[in-house]
Chains A and B, each alone.
Chain A
């Protein structure tokens, strides 16, 4: 596990990108959404106020939940002790696979740091898509670029501070000992990877809060008797969208199309007949 430094660094970066955290490109876009909501000219009507409230509270909540989600995924897959036999044997992927991911990661960083420039590059596309006064769009883009350049300034400051602190820390520990030991386990003598927090226990408080919506199934066989031999617990939260939306739609499509199955017999002669029939219909259509 410790050898997979490239994968670890890449997934860490993507973990910051996905919840739209600074200083990467995701945040630059989200920042623009926030500012466009706030720049509404007449925020006094109740309609716009509710809209602003919904967008801002929604984005903030999504941001918070996304951090929860990606720390869970990142933590359960990449951090701590390997939890299964398979993950003990994990190893770094070949150079080609790493290279493509590194390219994407570098683009994320660059798109974040060059955000004002990128927005300016897109200005003609935005002008065409916006469908309003080009002059107004132009001034909005200038405003956006101004805001983004300030954000880039903050990001650069952040990177400088990180480097500064890294140097300081190196200096602080240069004369001191750096030792390794086991993770502190409250005095427990035989820690085991299975005792680690799992992804489902990590998510439990949030899942509990949304239990009305998520409907987690759990199965619990408590230990019984004085010398219990067996006990187990497992919980499963189904993907709501997959179950209720995609599954329903695709099942519907499958049901409808299966009724047309007699049409597809697999006999070439019949297919030629279909073509001939269609041609005939089209010819008649044309002469009507």
Chain B
């Protein structure tokens, strides 16, 4: 069993940059372009790791350690997130709380790093990031709290293993609504349309991209890799809740889950092709909508 967990973790570490590639490919297909290769992210990462570093003279220690700590936080979160019904490498009751708070630590350092440059663009992005994530956090906790309380499993691994077809027949509406809420959180936390547009390089409208404007070389590589891995982890969370795979061979489980992750990437690509970024003033409404859905899931889950 531990071999399966380790294999899934390594798969996440290796395949995470692929998801963004698939999203971009989907968008390109939709727009009738050939688009960059799905491996483009890997090329970018290799290029960045072989580059030198350029620091702003305003920056301090905080700016230098921020990318390191961010990546470390996501790596720890990766060790806590299971894929399908296989256990995660480290699992214990309440691990989803630790997962969320390590991502909170990552946010703290990314935002502090951005403010360290003294750039008003980056301050703007940082300000938006803390606002939107403060609104996304309750939805995440209510969704997982509802499912955990209903199944009686307080670890992500136990929770995902409990997602059987029987549970679907009992809690179907609650699970579907939680899934929608978590999909919105996935889009928000990973800076995708309709919350943030990863393609614009117009500083005034960006959130995440603008916070890392001054990062370069290996530091930027760490940040890009961390965000790719974060996407993989939120995707795993979504399929763990939605897909009732139980008691299949570990290898089959990995295959099904990976395929589902690729489908999620295509889905994100479709969302990005079909709609534009929301006005910044409307993003809180979307996130509060996710919270409202989470509360609705609680109502449906009451027996």
Q: Does the CB pair A161–B214 fall under 8 Å?
A: no
Is A132 engaged at the interface, CB distance under 8 Å to the other chain? Answer: no
Residues of B within 8 A of A180 (CB): 54-57
Interchain nearest-CB distance for B158 vs A (Å):
12
Are B52 and A179 interface neighbours, CB within 8 A? Answer: yes
State the Cβ distance, A175 to closest chain B Cβ, in Å: 9
Is A38 a contact partner of B302 (Cβ separation < 8 A)?
no
Q: Is A123 an interface residue (CB 8 A)?
A: no
Instruction: Give CA–CA (A49, B294) in the complex, Å.
Output: 13
A184 to B130, Cβ gap below 8 A?
no
- How many residues does chain B have at the interface if contact means C-beta atoms less than 8 Å apart? 82
Give the distance in Å from the alpha carbon of A157 to the alpha carbon of B99 in the complex. Answer: 13
> Which one of A109-117, A196-204, A248-256, A275-283 is at the B interface?
A196-204
* Cβ A81 vs Cβ B98 within 8 A: no
A49–B134 Cα gap in the complex (Å)? Answer: 22
Q: Are B94's CB and A179's CB within 8 A?
A: no
Bound complex: CA of A34 vs CA of B141, how far in Å?
10
The interface size of chain A toward B, counting residues with CB under 8 Å, comes to 81
Given contacts A64-B137, A157-B79, contact A209 B284 (CB under 8 A): yes
- Of residues 158 to 208 in B, which have CB atoms within 8 Å of A's CB atoms? 203
**Secondary structure of the B side of the interface?**
helix
Instruction: Assess A31 versus B97: contact at CB under 8 Å? Given A57-B141, A64-B137, A157-B76.
Output: yes
Supply 4 further A-B pairs (C-beta < 8 A) apart from A53-B298, A173-B52: A19-B108, A75-B123, A183-B57, A196-B118
| 23 contacts across the A-B interface (CB closer than 8 A) | A8-B61, A16-B105, A20-B101, A40-B149, A56-B141, A60-B137, A63-B104, A64-B136, A67-B108, A79-B115, A79-B118, A80-B115, A154-B79, A154-B90, A158-B76, A162-B69, A172-B217, A180-B55, A197-B123, A197-B124, A197-B126, A202-B126, A202-B127
Where the two chains meet, the residues of B that have a C-beta atom closer than 8 Å to any C-beta of A are 49-62, 68-69, 71-73, 75-76, 79-80, 90, 92-95, 97-98, 100-102, 104-105, 107-108, 111-112, 115-124, 126-128, 130-131, 133-138, 140-142, 145, 148-150, 154, 203, 213-214, 217-219, 222, 280, 284, 291, 295, 298, 302-303
Binding site for B on A (CB under 8 A): 1-2, 5, 8-9, 12, 15-16, 19-22, 27, 30-31, 34-35, 38, 40, 43-44, 46, 49, 52-53, 56-57, 59-61, 63-65, 67-68, 70-72, 74-76, 79-81, 146-147, 150-151, 153-154, 157-158, 161-162, 165-166, 169, 172-173, 176-186, 193, 195-197, 201-206, 209
